[in-house]
Amino acid sequence: MAVKVVFGLKDGRSAQKELADEVSKTVWGKKIGDKIIGDSIGFSGYEFMITGGSDYCGIPMRKDVHGAVRKKILAVKGTGLKQLAKGIRVRVTVCGNVVHPKIAQLNMKVIKEGNEPLVVAKEAEKKEEKKE
């Protein structure tokens, strides 16, 4: 299953790329907070850190739930919870902190940038479309 990766760039923008099946297998087993060298996933010179994600149903990953599982937890605040009022605890379903084959989206933060930019400038895209 291909994984959509959302990169958070240092200037506040973000970029989306889709990893092929073979490449996405290299991130399986990694946890939230682990660092990934960009060469292993096709982005030479970059270094990324996993910050979260969601599975094929849209259930978010949570750092404090260990393993590659779904669990119903009793939460007061944090990922996967819309706080109703102060102190109200809600039972929510979340995914564990390990990347597994059913993860559909993976969020990463850029730690070290490479030579080629992840995001192509809008003007450059428009110029290429006009040439064709």
Q: Is pLDDT of 126 > 60?
A: no
Q: Residue 12's pLDDT is what? A: 86
DSSP 56: T
Question: Each residue of 108-127: b (16+ CB within 10 Å) or e?
Answer: bbbeeeeeeebeeeeeeeee
Q: Residue 71's pLDDT is what? A: 93
Residues 81-118: tens digit of each pLDDT: 877 888 888 899 999 999 999 999 999 999 988 888 87
Alpha carbon of 56 to those of 4, 68, 106, 120: distances in Å?
11, 13, 11, 28
What proportion of the chain, given as a percentage, has pLDDT over 90? 45
Q: Is 31 exposed, middle or buried (0-12, 13-18, 19+ CB in 10 A)?
A: middle
Q: Is 19 exposed, middle or buried (0-12, 13-18, 19+ CB in 10 A)?
A: middle
**Measured distance CA(119)–CA(132) in Å, rounded:** 21
From the list 33, 42, 37, the residue with the least C-alpha distance to 3 is: 42
Q: Where are the domains of the chain?
A: 3-64+98-131
What band does 23 get if pLDDT is binned at 50, 70 and 90?
Answer: confident
- Indicate yes or no: pTM above 0.85: no
Q: Is 125 helix (H, G, I), strand (E, B) or coil?
A: helix
Instruction: Kindly give the residue spans of alpha helices, DSSP state H, lying in the chain.
Output: 21-24, 122-131
